[in-house]
């Protein structure tokens, strides 16, 4: 481990890791894919995917990060250097650099939308909200087609993220996430309580937990989402755990992150679905397209109809913006750790250069949601994606995350000497009796699940 590496405090590490996991994936993506996949069985399969694939891989990243005390690339190099295959494996450590650069284009953009909608809702609340659902949808489309504004919202998020990461691991990331995460939990709980008396609440619970038919696509999506939401394959967890104290248990911290991340996704669903099912059935199909934009098109209208809607609407977007922020921070920190470990850059230089790269990548992305026709219709993978934004999302979720996950499971499951791993698990934990279970999941279950995903993707399937 490098001498100068600063370490998170115990709670700080949890706050940062949970903050990284909980984001748009939980509050924006999980509810809409659950809705699109008819709830119930999809949720069950998703939970199974978290337990069998997501959680073991998350533990693997924690292990790799803390053991080597390095960024993802350096970590793969360090752990495989004396093993068969040696440096070849480090390619898997480089993939997260590409992944997060693409994420820096589209994820930051959606994060910017939430910030913009928070401010917009304050305006709507002050002026007395009186728009029809159609008007709200139309105004979202106008917003998307406004190129300079799109670039502006991306830029604002990039600047805020950069400013926090610039302050460093302890005084920036740890301090901010320790304040933001409990606040986020509290706000979400408040929204869930507000949802209880609404007419859609019981139907929401039924939808979420009933057992219904399940398609193969839903299965694919469930495994894929477990990667995205936990941040597995992004290298972020490796970076954060390189700042983890040896006094802390990897197993307990890792499982806590998985549980909290899942809980937040489920509570977000309850809130969203209470809103959706509060609308009479006949109007539901027209009120809610089962699409990714639901959070910005029909939701504002519904939020304002909630008890205390004037307050809850801005609060909701504020919450989502913060959830996104603690994720964008972790993405940037990962790249900063690569630049400072591998290239010897100072934190300031790394933050500035990487943020500029994000903005450069963001320009075509921001213009591809309506402002520029060519960019919005770009289809390098044929029917599988449309536009730069969609293509980046497709590439990250369908290819980059699974491939990096495969690399992790092969390296930690088969390449590295196992007693070394068990030893690291037991530091700060005590005896890890269920090590063989983790080992089985990482050696057999994860690679099979990931190879199946890749097989389907190669065959032309895609998931959100």
Q: How far apart are CA 407 and CA 227, in angstroms?
A: 14
Q: Which of 26, 37, 68, 355 binds ligand PHE (CB under 6 A)?
A: 26
The answer for 27, left when phi > 0, alpha when psi is -120 to 50, beta otherwise, is alpha
Q: How far apart are CA 112 and CA 153, in angstroms?
A: 5
Residue 229 touching ligand PHE (CB under 6 A): yes
Q: Which of 40, 331, 407, 447 binds ligand PHE (CB under 6 A)?
A: 331
Q: How far apart are CA 341 and CA 347, in angstroms?
A: 10
To the nearest whole angstrom, how small is the minimum distance from the Cβ of residue 130 to ligand PHE? 33
Q: How far is CA 334 from the centre of its chain?
A: 14
To the nearest whole angstrom, how small is the minimum distance from the Cβ of residue 443 to ligand PHE? 25
Which token pair is 184? 């986020």
To the nearest whole angstrom, how small is the minimum distance from the Cβ of residue 326 to ligand PHE? 8
Segment interacting with ligand PHE (CB under 6 A) among 82-90, 229-237, 304-312, 336-344 = 229-237
Residue 402 touching ligand PHE (CB under 6 A): no
The answer for 196, left when phi > 0, alpha when psi is -120 to 50, beta otherwise, is alpha
DSSP calls for 35-55: HHTTSTHHHHHHHHHIIIIIH
Q: Which of 198, 248, 327, 446 binds ligand PHE (CB under 6 A)?
A: 327
Residue 25 touching ligand PHE (CB under 6 A): yes
Closest CA to 62 of 226, 176, 230, 229: 230
Segment interacting with ligand PHE (CB under 6 A) among 51-59, 302-310, 328-336, 430-438 = 328-336
Q: How far apart are CA 265 and CA 90, in angstroms?
A: 33
Binding mask 106-145 for ligand PHE (x = CB under 6 A): -x--------------------------------------
Residue 330 touching ligand PHE (CB under 6 A): yes
Binding mask 279-318 for ligand PHE (x = CB under 6 A): ----------------------------------------
Inter-residue contact 121 to 302 (CB < 8 Å): no
Q: Which of 23, 31, 74, 278 binds ligand PHE (CB under 6 A)?
A: 23
Q: Which of residues 175-214 bind ligand PHE (CB under 6 A)?
A: none
Inter-residue contact 170 to 6 (CB < 8 Å): yes
Give SS3 for 59.
helix
Which token pair is 431? 């005896």
Q: Which of 21, 136, 151, 184 binds ligand PHE (CB under 6 A)?
A: 21
Burial class, 192, CB count within 10 angstroms (exposed 0-12 / middle 13-18 / buried 19+) = middle
To the nearest whole angstrom, how small is the minimum distance from the Cβ of residue 28 to ligand PHE? 8
DSSP calls for 352-417: HHHHHHHHHHHHHHHGGGTT-HHHHT--TTGGG--HHHHHHHHIIIIIIHHHHHHHHHHIIIIIS-
| Nearer to ligand PHE (CB atom), residue 136 or residue 335 | 335
| Nearer to ligand PHE (CB atom), residue 327 or residue 395 | 327
What values do phi and psi take at 27, rounded to 5? -95, -30
Q: 284-289: long-range contacts at Cβ-Cβ below 8 A with a sequence spacing of 24 or more?
A: 287/133, 288/35
Residue nearest to ligand PHE (CB): 25
To the nearest whole angstrom, how small is the minimum distance from the Cβ of residue 335 to ligand PHE? 11
Residue 34 touching ligand PHE (CB under 6 A): no
Residue 411 touching ligand PHE (CB under 6 A): no
Inter-residue contact 230 to 265 (CB < 8 Å): no
Which whole-number Å values give the CA distances from 251 to 19, 66, 88, 230, in the listed order?
Answer: 18, 12, 28, 15
Q: Which of residues 364-393 bind ligand PHE (CB under 6 A)?
A: none
Which whole-number Å values give the CA distances from 54 to 13, 252, 254, 323, 442, in the listed order?
Answer: 19, 15, 11, 20, 10
To the nearest whole angstrom, how small is the minimum distance from the Cβ of residue 235 to ligand PHE? 10
| Nearer to ligand PHE (CB atom), residue 37 or residue 330 | 330
Binding mask 236-255 for ligand PHE (x = CB under 6 A): x-------------------
Q: Which of 7, 12, 17, 20 binds ligand PHE (CB under 6 A)?
A: 20
- The four Cα atoms 190, 195, 196, 199 give a dihedral, to 10 degrees, of 170
Binding mask 73-112 for ligand PHE (x = CB under 6 A): ------------------------------x---x-----
To the nearest whole angstrom, how small is the minimum distance from the Cβ of residue 93 to ligand PHE? 17
Number of residues that bind ligand PHE (CB under 6 A): 17
To the nearest whole angstrom, how small is the minimum distance from the Cβ of residue 396 to ligand PHE? 9
To the nearest whole angstrom, how small is the minimum distance from the Cβ of residue 398 to ligand PHE? 15
Binding site for ligand PHE (CB under 6 A): 20-21, 23-26, 103, 107, 228-229, 231, 234, 236, 327-328, 330-331
């Amino acid at each position: 481990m490098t001498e100068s590496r600063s370490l998170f405090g115990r709670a700080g590490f949890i706050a940062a890791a949970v903050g990284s996991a909980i984001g748009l994936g939980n509050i924006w993506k999980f509810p809409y894919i659950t809705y699109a996949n008819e709830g119930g069985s999809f949720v069950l399969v998703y939970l199974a995917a978290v337990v069998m694939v997501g959680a073991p891989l998350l533990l693997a990243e924690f292990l790799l990060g803390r053991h080597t005390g390095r960024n993802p690339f350096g970590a793969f190099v360090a752990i495989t250097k004396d093993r068969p295959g040696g440096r070849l494996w480090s390619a898997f450590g480089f993939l997260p650099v590409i992944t997060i650069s693409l994420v820096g284009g589209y994820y930051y953009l959606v994060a910017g939308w939430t910030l913009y909608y928070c401010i917009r809702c304050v305006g709507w609340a002050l002026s007395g909200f009186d728009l029809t659902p159609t008007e709200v949808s139309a105004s979202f489309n106008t917003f998307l087609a406004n190129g300079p504004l799109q670039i502006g919202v991306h830029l604002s998020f990039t600047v805020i993220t950069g400013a926090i990461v610039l302050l460093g691991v302890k005084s920036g990331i740890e301090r901010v996430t320790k304040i933001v995460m409990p606040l986020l939990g509290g706000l979400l709980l408040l929204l869930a309580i507000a949802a209880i008396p609404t007419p859609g609440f019981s139907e929401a619970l039924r939808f979420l937990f009933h057992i219904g038919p399940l398609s193969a696509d839903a299965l694919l999506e469930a495994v894929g989402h477990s990667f995205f939401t936990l941040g597995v394959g992004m290298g972020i967890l490796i970076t954060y755990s390189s700042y983890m104290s040896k006094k802390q248990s990897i197993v307990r911290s890792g499982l806590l992150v998985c549980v909290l991340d899942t809980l937040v996704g489920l509570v977000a669903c309850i809130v969203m679905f209470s809103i959706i099912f509060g609308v009479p059935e006949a109007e539901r199909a027209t009120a809610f397209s089962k699409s990714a934009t639901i959070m910005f098109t029909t939701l504002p209208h519904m939020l304002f109809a909630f008890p205390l809607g004037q307050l809850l609407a801005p609060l909701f977007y504020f919450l989502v913006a913060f959830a996104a922020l603690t994720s964008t921070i972790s993405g940037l920190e990962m790249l900063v750790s690569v630049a400072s470990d591998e290239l010897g850059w100072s934190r300031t230089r790394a933050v500035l250069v990487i943020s500029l790269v994000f903005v450069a990548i963001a320009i075509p992305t921001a213009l591809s949601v309506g402002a520029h026709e060519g960019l919005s219709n770009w289809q390098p993978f044929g029917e599988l994606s449309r536009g730069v934004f969609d293509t980046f999302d497709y590439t990250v979720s369908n290819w980059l995350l699974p491939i990096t996950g495969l690399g992790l499971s092969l390296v930690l499951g088969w390449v590295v000497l196992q007693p070394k791993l068990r030893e690291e698990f037991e530091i700060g934990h005590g005896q890890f009796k269920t090590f063989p279970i983790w080992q089985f999941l990482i050696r057999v279950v994860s690679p099979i699940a990931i190879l199946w995903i890749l097989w389907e993707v190669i065959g032309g399937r895609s998931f959100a």
